[in-house]
Amino acid sequence: MTVNELVRECSFDVICLADGDREVKGCYIGDLLSWVMGRAREDNAWITIMSNINVVAVASLSDVSCVILAEGVTLDDEVKAVAESKGINVLCSQSPIFETALAVSGKV
Amino acid sequence: MSDELVFHFDIDGEDFTSAGQASVQIKKNLRQLGLPSEIIRRVSIAMYEGEINMVVHARGGKADVIVREDCIEIRLADSGPGIKNIEQAMQEGFSTASDEVRSLGFGAGMGLPNMKRYTDEMHIDSTVGVGTTVTMKVYFPVE
Ligand SMILES: Nc1ncnc2c1ncn2[C@@H]1O[C@H](COP(=O)(O)OP(=O)(O)OP(=O)(O)O)[C@@H](O)[C@H]1O
Ligand SMILES: [Mg+2]
């Protein structure tokens, strides 16, 4: 399923959608950035509650297809601008991490 | 020696909220060279972990990425406090990161293990009070 389709199916909010046609394959959940870099796979959706600028770098370096911020977490305008310039897809889920993961489950 | 390509970066140790820019830049450079995406991913993640370490543990440093015929070499050098016990530092979960660094999502003690995992060769040279040099190599797959 593509990021666009995931947004629609799970009713996520869009924070920035740089490449909505990108395919999502699998999912990784975590807030500790070195764990994410060690364990997340290319094209995963990454669910986290972290929202600082380093999240953008980690998303870019680990080639995840999108970042899903759980618990209604959003990005500062400055961080959002960097995410846009780096071509990172960032979505927002109003639900806690577990419910967010359940929503994604079976779709990617 | 003939076809080496060297990218050099000075890593600023002042602002660790926005650290990692050299690694993001290197990823772009390697993409422009048309290298295999898996190689680029391994190199840029390993470099990012090392870059962050230099910023949060060693007040910055220098990074060189050398693209050769058969491999990519990453050299990171700092004049920070050095690592007292390298074997201990290499263990998953070992970290001396401050609370401030941890609040940004670092400090899991997984950086050095990731660098080892994503590269084919890794060597740490460190002297307490003098600094740390980390050298890593990722080889291109042979057809
Ligand atoms: N360049 C360096 N200079 C001085 N000490 C270092 C350096 N790099 C690593 N260390 C030491 O080794 C420890 C382990 O490093 P490692 O990268 O594995 O974990 P971390 O940086 O603490 O956390 P993480 O990388 O998961 O965010 C660090 O906490 C620090 O004590
Ligand atoms: Mg580290």
* Per-residue confidence in pLDDT tens, chain B, 143 aa: 568 999 999 999 988 777 899 999 999 999 999 999 999 999 999 999 999 999 999 999 999 999 999 999 999 999 999 999 999 999 999 999 999 999 999 999 999 999 999 999 999 999 999 999 999 999 999 87
Partner A contacted by B111 (CB < 8 A): yes
Alpha carbons A76 and B105: distance in angstroms, whole number: 17
Alpha carbons A7 and A17: distance in angstroms, whole number: 10
**Closest by Cα among B142, B141, B122 to B133:** B122
CB contact under 8 A, A37 and B109: no
- Domain with residue A72: its CATH number is 3.40.1390.20
Instruction: Report how many domains make up chain A.
Output: 1
Q: What is the pTM of this model?
A: 0.95
Q: What is the ipTM of this complex?
A: 0.92
Identify from A32, A33, A79 which residue to disrupt to test chain B contact, counting B C-beta atoms within 10 A and taking the largest count.
A33
∠B137-B33-B4 over CA atoms, to 5°?
55
Look up the domain containing A80 and give its range: 3-105
Domain B5-139, CATH class in plain words: alpha beta
The secondary structure of chain B in percent helix, strand, coil, rounded to multiples of 5, reads 40, 30, 35
